[in-house]
Amino acid sequence: MKKLAIDLDSTVWQILDIFVPLYNKKYKTNVKVGDIDRFHFFPQERFMKIYKKTTKHIKEFKPVRGFFGSYIEELSILYDITFLTHGNYTKKKVSKKLESMGVWGDFYQDIIITKEPKADFDFDYFIDDNPLMVADMKQYPEKTLILIPTTYNYYIADEYDNILRWMNWKQITEYLITGFI
């Protein structure tokens, strides 16, 4: 079976809807989710501080628009699925949250929480929102990154054959099952 890595923040669940109000409150700013036009939009130190607070609200995160647990079930028939995150979570919290979204434990093999570059992991496909992965993917022409469309990765040019963009979850599932976009 081919191996598929799926990111969590902004790929499976919407974290910015919780992050941005916490950020605005703390730093007396008026940022809107739609204003975020690059991955490092927020100063790193502030980002980390608020991110830690945000992850405590994991139960309140809503699914990314168009995401359903049933897609993971469909994909699990053809792929070995692992959730791969840089997030500040425990496996237990993640599995509980996934379960609440209809993603049951038998749909996937593992949850990996890491600080290492994700592209270095041994997967055939990555589903992620992080535009910074694009550069890393250059070293791995045999792997494919499917980029979830966001306001901070729209500028990525179609430079590489192994980066696919502009698909929602329904289209991603169809593509991974049939091989066609």
Q: Which residues bind Mg ion (CB under 5 A)?
A: 7, 9-10, 129
Residues in the chain: 181
Q: Which is nearer to Mg ion, 1 or 135 (CB)?
A: 135
What DSSP line would sit under 84-133, residue for residue? Answer: EE-SS--HHHHHHHHHHTT--GGG-SEEEE-SS-GGGSS-SEEEE--TTH
Q: Which is nearer to Mg ion, 10 or 14 (CB)?
A: 10
Kindly state the tokens that stand for 156: 């990525």
Shortest CB 9 distance to Mg ion, Å: 4
Shortest CB 83 distance to Mg ion, Å: 11
Residue 153, classed as helix, strand or coil, is coil
Q: Is the separation of the CB atoms in 4 and 123 below 8 Å?
A: yes
Q: Which is nearer to Mg ion, 1 or 117 (CB)?
A: 117
Shortest CB 87 distance to Mg ion, Å: 8
Nearest residue to the partner Mg ion, using Cβ: 9
Q: Which is nearer to Mg ion, 51 or 107 (CB)?
A: 51
